[in-house]
Amino acid sequence: DAGVIQSPRHEVTEMGQEVTLRCKPISGHNSLFWYRQTMMRGLELLIYFNNNVPIDDSGMPEDRFSAKMPNASFSTLKIQPSEPRDSAVYFCAIHQAGGAGRKDTQYFGPGTRLTVL
Amino acid sequence: SQKIEQNSEALNIQEGKTATLTCNYTNYSPAYLQWYRQDPGRGPVFLLLIRENEKEKRKERLKVTFDTTLKQSLFHITASQPADSATYLCALSLGSGGSNYKLTFGKGTLLTVNP
């Protein structure tokens, strides 16, 4: 977890409110991923960025979800308006290219547990 | 559509025994397959990666096999310990470079090692 910082760790909000999840990856990565995890659907990729550019957002459930990566050290995932079915754990992960033992693997943050009432 | 299945949601074994977890996939031709461990309240942690042209990979008490004909990977933990109790996820990818970094995960198998 040390390579990726996510905030907040827990978020409880009411339906209709805007929610912003934050991710601060360590330097040296090329790609950043946002995942959602639920008991029913498991770990699903929402969107990922390569060199700060969104590459594949086909997993974003609907227009209520948006993600940005203004620089290599910061990314946000926003839900507006939030709904109860958005309740899940949201993970940010990075891919580090190069280096023995690190190639082609992803490093996950601790996640944000979101509850929408 | 692409599908990844892990053989069971939960597996209970006795300490000292070998745990074997299965990952099957359909409609997919992955370049490599990875196994991750996830503890409660934490993000998945990478364990092992095996490429399509590799049959077996080992790391300490862990062993992974990859059969692209059967479209199956087996994950073994030998001499299991209670500390091995966790959820284990398999993930597939098309390979390196650009959009191929994208991973598709199975739902995981919860392993419990009883002392």
Measure CB to CB from residue A105 to each of B46, B89, B107 and give the nearest one. Answer: B46
Whether B102 and A110 lie within 8 Å, measured CB to CB: no
- Name the minimum distance, in Å, from the CA of B45 to any CA of chain A: 7
Residue among A23, A94, A105 with most chain B CBs within 10 A, to mutate: A105
Residue among B103, B104, B109 with most chain A CBs within 10 A, to mutate: B103
pLDDT value of residue B62: 97
End-to-end Cα spacing for chain B = 41
Q: How far is CA A86 from the centre of its chain?
A: 13
pLDDT value of residue A103: 59
Give burial (CB, 10 Å; 0-12/13-18/19+) of B75: buried
Residue A46 token pair: 């929402």
* B55 backbone dihedrals φ, ψ, rounded to 5°: -95, -35
Number of C-beta neighbours around residue A84 at 10 A = 10
- The verdict on whether omega for the bond into residue A8 sits within 30 degrees of 0, i.e. cis, is yes
Q: Give the chain B residue nearest A40 (alpha carbons).
A: B107
* Spatial separation of the C-alpha atoms in residues A29 and A107, rounded to whole Å: 10
Are the beta carbons of B38 and B15 closer than 8 angstroms?
no
Residue ranges in chain B modelled with pLDDT below 70: 95-100
- Residue closest to B29 by CA, chosen among B107, B109, B104: B104
Mind listing the pLDDT tens digit of every residue in chain A (117 residues)?
458 999 999 999 999 999 999 999 976 677 899 999 999 999 999 999 988 999 889 899 889 999 999 998 999 999 999 999 999 999 999 987 655 544 568 899 999 999 999
Exposure string for B30-61, b = 16+ CB within 10 A, e = fewer: bebbbbbbbeeeebbbbbbbbeeeeeebeeee
* Spatial separation of the C-alpha atoms in residues A50 and A58, rounded to whole Å: 15
Tell me which residues of chain B, numbers 64 to 83, contact chain A at a CB-CB cutoff of 8 Å. Answer: none
> Per-residue pLDDT tens for B50-82?
988 899 999 999 999 999 899 999 999 999 999
* Spatial separation of the C-alpha atoms in residues B70 and B27, rounded to whole Å: 12
According to DSSP, the residues that pair with A44 across neighbouring strands are A36
